[in-house]
A and B are shown apart, each in its own frame.
Chain A
Amino acid sequence: MPYNEPSPLEVKVVTRRFELPNSASIDTYLATEGYQALRKALEMKPEEIINEVKASNLRGRGGAGFPTGMKWSFVPRESPKPKYIVVNADEGEPGTCKDRLLMEFDPHQIIEGVLIAGLAVGAHAGYIYIRGEYRYLIDILDRAIAEAYNKGYLGKNIQGSGFDFDFYTHTGAGSYECGEESALLESLEGKRGVPRIRPPFPAVAGAFQSPTVLNNVETFAAVPAILRDGGAAFAALGTPRNGGTRLFCLSGHVNKPGVYELPMGFNLLRMIHEVGGGVRNGKKLKAVIPGGSSCPVLKAEECDLAMDYDSVAKAKSMLGSGGVVVMDEDTCIVKAAMRIMKFYAHESCGWCIPCREGTTWLKKLLVRFHEGQGTRSDIPLIGELAKNMLGRTFCPLGDAAAMPTISFVEKFPEEFEAHLDGKPCPFETAGRLVTA
């Protein structure tokens, strides 16, 4: 059973097996239409599979929202090198805790999605890169993989089709940066997780410098339903160009935090009030981070918003990884900005100077500010520093640190001013955040 009560407003596609007993076992999976999409895909031509995924309007659930079918189509058809499928299970974006559930409660759905991707691009091996802290999930995936080998859904000549595919788990060891695709690939090769310059993109030179499809756990988990029920049916669940459902991780100051599967385009205020049971303790809503800590914050009055990639982008933020962090009227925005920057400073891999130095400098500024030691000129300096990081790094971590910071300081300047002249934080009576 998942960790929170489901909501009646959910539309269950990728979570449809979560409440079944032994939902992770292959027997449960096979009894509930499991591996039927694979059977269908085995009868299809690669371009037919890709077209079905394109028709579903499935977009990458890791955060960037790139159209999945298009991503798969970039893998060169003829390649002298073997091709690989890599699952990004390095879930680390603050506010995000959904891939964990998909792995825990329905690992075969991920394996089936990977097999279909393998058929689509002509790959015969794949890896799931799981963050080190998720050790129990490595065990669950290893068990599921062993079951799939035993029943002929992995290995040589899968279900007598002549298609071979091997699948392996791989553990990370503590690094947010390894959730970035090119750093993940470096880490998979046994190196420090520093990003690669692109092009070439992973579709051309990914794992072991070979053509690679790399997608988030939830993206692969959606693929069996797309093949089984058709791309058009999946697309129809969402909004134009934003197909299907997605997992939203509601956290922070709501009465019923939890992971909920909702259609793309679900209204954010409804999500907070009707799914999440409203703001905790009857407080007023102050702000929401809509898609994980890398996304610019939305003020309460900006939250009457359809939660799909295009609508949130239009509101100058991002749908990101589905981490919806709700903050009530008593939340100190300076403290939130400081804690988030402390995270990015810790996780910057140090490869690119604007990110390495920028995050550390901003952390120091924000800590000083929150302690009441900031100066008036620091306020524009925070925004200026952050803007100087944008677009100047190999990977998006620098941008991920800068974008929310710019939004905090531009949308809530009065909260920064309230901390000036040695004044104590107006939102706290006791206990400051530890900044060890």
Chain B
Amino acid sequence: MTFSSELETKFEKLLKSYPAGRERSAVIPMLLFAQDEIGSVTPELVAEVARRTGVTPLQVEEVVSYYSMLRTTPAGKHHIQICTNISCMLSGGAELYEHARKKLGIGNKEVTPDGQFSLEEVECMGACSWAPALQVNYEFHHAMTMEKLDRLIDSLRKLQ
């Protein structure tokens, strides 16, 4: 498999970050960074990461099935993750999530038919004091309201 030169540089640096013979340490970062570029963890990516780190494809797969951010099917172009854990819940996070579900017409971990949006109800993401919070891809949005969420989704739609 070939990746962008930027990602190749990142991989090169990663493989040199761990003690000799410990290249397996690079498996999780490589999978996550590659997923960001190609959209999901494909069987080809599993084989490629296994080859580059000197482990078996099964050792890569057991990691893929463990970590919640690694996914085997692509998310939407804008992946909206809404926290409903305790601090966000106390500030309306669950209602915010419900609102997003209705607005986008999709359920948890589903993608809109046009591939533009996906939605996920997530656990605490470290924004408790600025709740309720969500992330679009990796970007935080704090102190959300339903109106702010509507505006956010509408502005992302216009980006198409």
**B123/A252 in contact, CB under 8 A:** no
Our pick among A131, A336, A431 for the contact of B95 (Cβ within 8 Å) is: A431
Asked if B116 is an interface residue, CB under 8 A from chain A, the answer is no
Q: Which residues of A contact B31 (CB under 8 A)?
A: 173
Question: Given contacts A168-B17, A189-B22, A251-B129, are A94 and B123 in contact (CB under 8 A)?
Answer: yes
Q: Which of A31-39, A132-140, A222-230 contacts B (4 or more CB under 8 A)?
A: A132-140
Interface residue ranges of B16-62 to A (CB < 8 Å): 17-19, 22, 24-29, 31-33, 53, 55, 59, 62
Chain B residue with minimal CB distance to A131? Answer: B126
**B67/A175 in contact, CB under 8 A:** yes
- Chain B nearest CB from A420 CB (Å) reads 23
**A293/B138 in contact, CB under 8 A:** no
How far does the alpha carbon of A174 sit from the alpha carbon of B121 in the complex, in Å?
13
Asked if A143 is an interface residue, CB under 8 A from chain B, the answer is no
User: How many contacts A-B (CB < 8 Å)?
Assistant: 164
Q: Which of B26, B55, B91 has the most CB of A within 10 A?
A: B91
**B126/A289 in contact, CB under 8 A:** no
How far does the alpha carbon of A133 sit from the alpha carbon of B125 in the complex, in Å?
7
How far does the alpha carbon of A168 sit from the alpha carbon of B10 in the complex, in Å?
12
Contact digits for A65-99, partner B, Cβ 8 Å, 1 yes 0 no: 00000000000000000100000000111111101
Contact digits for B59-71, partner A, Cβ 8 Å, 1 yes 0 no: 1001100111110
Contact digits for A333-350, partner B, Cβ 8 Å, 1 yes 0 no: 001100110010011010
**B69/A434 in contact, CB under 8 A:** no
**B32/A134 in contact, CB under 8 A:** no
- Chain A nearest CB from B49 CB (Å) reads 10
How far does the alpha carbon of A127 sit from the alpha carbon of B22 in the complex, in Å?
14
**B108/A436 in contact, CB under 8 A:** yes
How far does the alpha carbon of A289 sit from the alpha carbon of B124 in the complex, in Å?
15
- Chain B nearest CB from A195 CB (Å) reads 13
- Chain B nearest CB from A6 CB (Å) reads 13
How far does the alpha carbon of A229 sit from the alpha carbon of B86 in the complex, in Å?
38
**B124/A94 in contact, CB under 8 A:** yes
Contact digits for B130-148, partner A, Cβ 8 Å, 1 yes 0 no: 1100010011001000000
**A135/B130 in contact, CB under 8 A:** no
Asked if A144 is an interface residue, CB under 8 A from chain B, the answer is no
Q: Which of B24, B31, B55, B66 has the most CB of A within 10 A?
A: B66
How far does the alpha carbon of A339 sit from the alpha carbon of B53 in the complex, in Å?
39
Chain B residue with minimal CB distance to A93? Answer: B124
**A96/B126 in contact, CB under 8 A:** yes
Q: Which residues of B contact A257 (CB under 8 A)?
A: 128-131
Q: Which residues of B contact A258 (CB under 8 A)?
A: 129-130
Asked if B94 is an interface residue, CB under 8 A from chain A, the answer is yes
**A94/B62 in contact, CB under 8 A:** no
Asked if A259 is an interface residue, CB under 8 A from chain B, the answer is yes
Q: Which residues of B contact A267 (CB under 8 A)?
A: none
Chain A residues in the interface with B (C-beta under 8 A): 3-4, 82, 91-97, 99-100, 125, 127, 131-136, 168, 170-176, 187-193, 208, 249-253, 257-259, 289, 293, 323, 325, 327, 331, 335-336, 339-340, 343, 346-347, 349, 431, 433-434, 436
What are 15 A-B pairs with beta-carbon distances under 8 A?
A92-B124, A94-B123, A95-B124, A132-B32, A175-B67, A176-B124, A190-B59, A191-B24, A191-B63, A193-B67, A251-B129, A257-B130, A431-B94, A433-B84, A433-B94
